[in-house]
Structure 1
């Protein structure tokens, strides 16, 4: 059962290699008068950036050269290192599932912290071990062992993921399970002489693998929701006072179970369950899908500062089409008309954060007929985004996989309705 997941950084969570090379070249040119090729610089990799500069720059210029490197690294980070929304969603998904998360990297502390801040990852990890904080870098086990000690984690319940043989070697030497990953678009086909415990070519494949404790937790979470539905339906139809007491107790038990499986508060969940009456059925979430010149309309949610398709819970007395039009007007300022059904998905079948009820998500195509972009009581911004320029998504409303599906469906001549 996996409770702790440690990640390599470069090649696993992000690709800063082009930026590192770009920053090293002018440093060596300025302070040593040498024009190093990309291959020359890559051959130096192993120690941290600070150590590489110290080993290759004269004594008088070392600190100035290090500062010059980090100035370039900071200033040009956004141009060289794009944010990978699917990676960020994966990390939040694991974090929300109760996992301990850590980073084991050869990068120096200064560059690691800069990258984590630039990529919106700085508040996710429970421990980060940088290359200049250990005596023996990967493939030696020191960095992995240091993270385990800090977390109080056991080797039997820890998984270390990386994209190189050094990562796999360090994990094996520390006695933890390892996984060789190749899910980033920039993956160059690195191999490992040490056989990893697992191999993953995609984030989805990783998240749905049985080794992830969160998958087992979600199975229990699913059962808990079913028990809650049984208790709710039982309370709706039972007349016997003893049966009613049993169903109420069952409802309270499910609240306690959900608290143990998620970060939900037991008493808040219990009050939420008490507010649900009648036969238990899935809730319905309706999302409007509006394209304009190959770009998709998104709104920025005030509740979490992230972006989503306009939409929300279906209102009684309104059709799905009417809900999509209403929500779009309220959240974006645009007047629209619905033009067709795109898809129906089950919330629990996608990497959304845990939610205490079953939800069906309906995606409705809409066309703009008037209005102007406007903020609302729920949204702070409105914008159109291309497939490669998506902002950070509000994953309890929509995932990057669902957004990608919408772009793919738009370019599909058939445009058949997708559904779970």
Structure 2
């Protein structure tokens, strides 16, 4: 088995590992309507996936966290998630074999996500994937969410790697900007929440379009 191109590979989760973008948009709109707001176009939610729940709520409603309506929306969304609203989410085709190949090649894997830890663990367990990752960094474990570097910095600290030894893989500009702020190489994938044109504006080191291309880029000597 060839060596991975980087000792540490840090993934975003939703839209990068898991095919969850459509489900998140639907769940968010259900919460908006349930708490007295109007549903919004899916594109309005897609462009904000990866940010903290509080920030998404503020941008979609125009209300700050101190407002009752904002608190109701955030709580409703959390309750829907806890009740299993995203329990059916599965990995993209080919992702689980790719994660296995990374580990066989000696790479350490981590996750840096805007999800809360409870929700991430539920999704990982539903896909039998918790043991694949050496470090999990979630929005409720850091002071600042994306695009600040805190999530990546937490993974680096927990795994003991330096920034130059790591690469971040994500499907949004928020991921790319986070990786850049942390000083790691960045790979954007266009099969998730943000399209290729949007991702290109954030100037990732690589812009890829499929799980297969991701494997070819990070396991470059794989036959």
TM-score by length of 2: 0.78
Match of 2:61 in 1: none
The answer to whether the aligner puts 1:178 opposite 2:186 as a matched pair is yes
**How far apart, CA to CA, are the structure 2 residues paired with 1:104 and 1:25?**
25
Match of 1:16 in 2: 20
Cα shift at 1:101? 0.3
The answer to whether the aligner puts 1:34 opposite 2:37 as a matched pair is yes
The answer to whether the aligner puts 1:160 opposite 2:163 as a matched pair is no
**How far apart, CA to CA, are the structure 2 residues paired with 1:202 and 1:41?**
22
Q: Secondary structure at the match of 2:167?
A: strand
Which residue of 120, 134, 139 maps to 1:112?
120
The answer to whether the aligner puts 1:188 opposite 2:195 as a matched pair is yes
Give 1:16-415 correspondences, 5 Å limit: 16-30=20-34, 32-39=35-42, 41-42=45-46, 45=49, 47-49=51-53, 52=56, 55=65, 57-58=68-69, 61=72, 65-72=76-83, 74-75=84-85, 77-78=87-88, 81-182=89-190, 184=191, 188-189=195-196, 190-209=198-217, 212=218, 349=223
**How far apart, CA to CA, are the structure 1 residues paired with 2:17 and 2:133?**
12
Cα shift at 1:109? 1.9
Q: 1:202 to 1:135 in 2, by over 3 A?
A: same
Q: Secondary structure at the match of 2:109?
A: strand
Match of 2:60 in 1: none
The answer to whether the aligner puts 1:2 opposite 2:6 as a matched pair is yes
**How far apart, CA to CA, are the structure 2 residues paired with 1:151 and 1:51?**
28
Cα shift at 1:180? 1.7
Gaps of 5+ in 2: 58-63
Q: Secondary structure at the match of 1:77?
A: coil
**How far apart, CA to CA, are the structure 1 residues paired with 2:188 and 2:74?**
36
Cα shift at 1:93? 0.8
Gaps of 5+ in 1: 219-348, 350-420
Root mean square deviation, CA, Å: 3.0
Structure of greater relative contact order (alpha carbons < 8 Å, 6+ residues apart) = 2
Higher strand share: 1
Q: 1:208 to 1:115 in 2, by over 3 A?
A: same
Larger radius of gyration: 1
